[in-house]
Amino acid sequence: MQKILVVGSINMDLSFECKRLPNLGETIISNNYKKYCGGKGANQAVALARLESDVTMIGVVGDDNYGHELCSNLKFNQVKTTGIRFSKEVSSGLASIIVDETGNNQIVVYPGANYELLVPDIDKLEALIVETDYVVCQLEIPIVTVEYVLQKAKQLGKTTILNCAPARELTKKILEYCDFLIPNETELQVITNTHYPLINETELITATQKLSKQGVKNIIVTLGAKGVLYANAEQTQFLKAFSVKAIDSTAAGDSFIGGFVTSLANGKTIVDSLEFANKVAAITVTRRGAQISLPYLYEVENYRFSS
Ligand code: RIB
């Protein structure tokens, strides 16, 4: 079985259900509040594990109640936690999430211990990169660490996947080290420095072509309910999303990464893997919360989508 290593963030999410998202300077009342295990890195690791991939995680949490709960939850979900360190200095990462009635959200992240994941940690854990087949990163840890991990992974001949969330500008080197770059529309605008008010199909394709010219091998733009755009130097292809009633989009992008990489690691083609990832993400938005909303393989295989 192919091995997958996730290097990224682990957060405790404080999630507020509201009728709508607040306007600038406005206070609104939430009708429900829940605490969920989250963090883009940890969500992706759990998504992979629930889809029966062999997954190990590298990350840092605080040596506090949240940190221990987050790590136990990863173990409970069959994620190997040998790469997780407890920081005595900084508390665990936190996210404040507001979810509206249609499932849209606004997220603020306090990185905390996630920003303590630095190059010396990666050097100490190099064996985990040596023994893996795929390396998956996001952008909730220091960017120098992301660049270092991707560089090491490429030097060791691994397949690299970068989910560019949250949106940050990327170095030329990071772009070159990525086999698969996976932004959403907003993140694509930031990476390519194309600040369109609203990105349409032609603009999307132009932006992906810009990245191809900069050496990115495969670009996958997630478009929410509109589906996904896959582009490389030779071709571009749109794939439709599965239609569901969304109640909470938290971790939808993370579940997509989990589905895509699981399928790729199982030897499926890129397009088949995108189709599978779309299914996983569609199921995720029908449930509340981050890791708790991620589907198991049997659920994806048996889910009946309306046509
Ligand atoms: O992608 C969703 C995640 O973003 C949440 O779980 C939150 O922790 C933030 O990292």
**pLDDT band for position 193 (50/70/90)?**
confident
CA distance 21 to 74: 30
Give nearest CA residue, ligand 1 atom 2.
251
Q: Name the E strands within the chain.
A: 3-7, 11-17, 32-38, 54-62, 80-87, 93-99, 105-110, 134-137, 159-163, 180-182, 218-222, 228-231, 236-239
Pocket residues: Cβ below 6 A from ligand 1: 9, 11, 13, 38-40, 43, 95, 107, 109, 140, 250-251, 253-254, 290
What's the 11 CA to ligand 1 centre distance in angstroms? 7
CA dihedral 187, 190, 195, 200 (to 10 degrees): -30
**Does the structure show a pLDDT above 90 at 198?**
no
Mutate to test the pocket of ligand 1, among 97, 106, 182, 249 (most ligand atoms within 8 A of CB): 97
In the predicted model, what is the mean pLDDT of the chain? 95
CA distance 138 to 140: 6
- State pLDDT tens for residues 280-302: 999 999 999 999 999 999 999 99
Does the reported pTM lie above 0.95? yes
Q: List domains and CATH numbers for the chain.
A: 3-302 (3.40.1190.20)
Range 133-159 average pLDDT: 98
Per-residue pLDDT at 200: 83
Q: What is the 3-state secondary structure (H, E, C) of 217-234?
A: CEEEEECHHHCEEEECCC
CA distance 188 to 186: 5
What's the 235 CA to ligand 1 centre distance in angstroms? 31
Ligand 1, atom nearest to 253 Cα: 1
**Does the structure show a pLDDT above 80 at 196?**
no
Range 98-104 average pLDDT: 93
Both tokens of 50, joined, read 């629930």
Which residues participate in catalysis according to the annotation? 254
Map residue 11 onto helix, strand or coil: strand
CA distance 148 to 173: 10
Map residue 61 onto helix, strand or coil: strand
What's the 105 CA to ligand 1 centre distance in angstroms? 11
Q: Which helix (H) or strand (E) holds 261?
A: helix 252-265
- State pLDDT tens for residues 44-65: 999 999 999 999 999 999 999 9
Per-residue pLDDT at 306: 80
What's the 140 CA to ligand 1 centre distance in angstroms? 9
**Does the structure show a pLDDT above 90 at 195?**
no
**pLDDT band for position 307 (50/70/90)?**
low
Query: Is there a cis peptide before residue 166, judged by omega within 30 degrees of 0?
Result: yes
DSSP 184: B
Give nearest CA residue, ligand 1 atom 9.
39
| Single-letter amino acid code for the residue at 149 | V
Map residue 122 onto helix, strand or coil: helix
Give nearest CA residue, ligand 1 atom 7.
39
Phi and psi for 242 in degrees, rounded to 5?
A: -80, 140
Range 130-134 average pLDDT: 98
Per-residue pLDDT at 201: 86
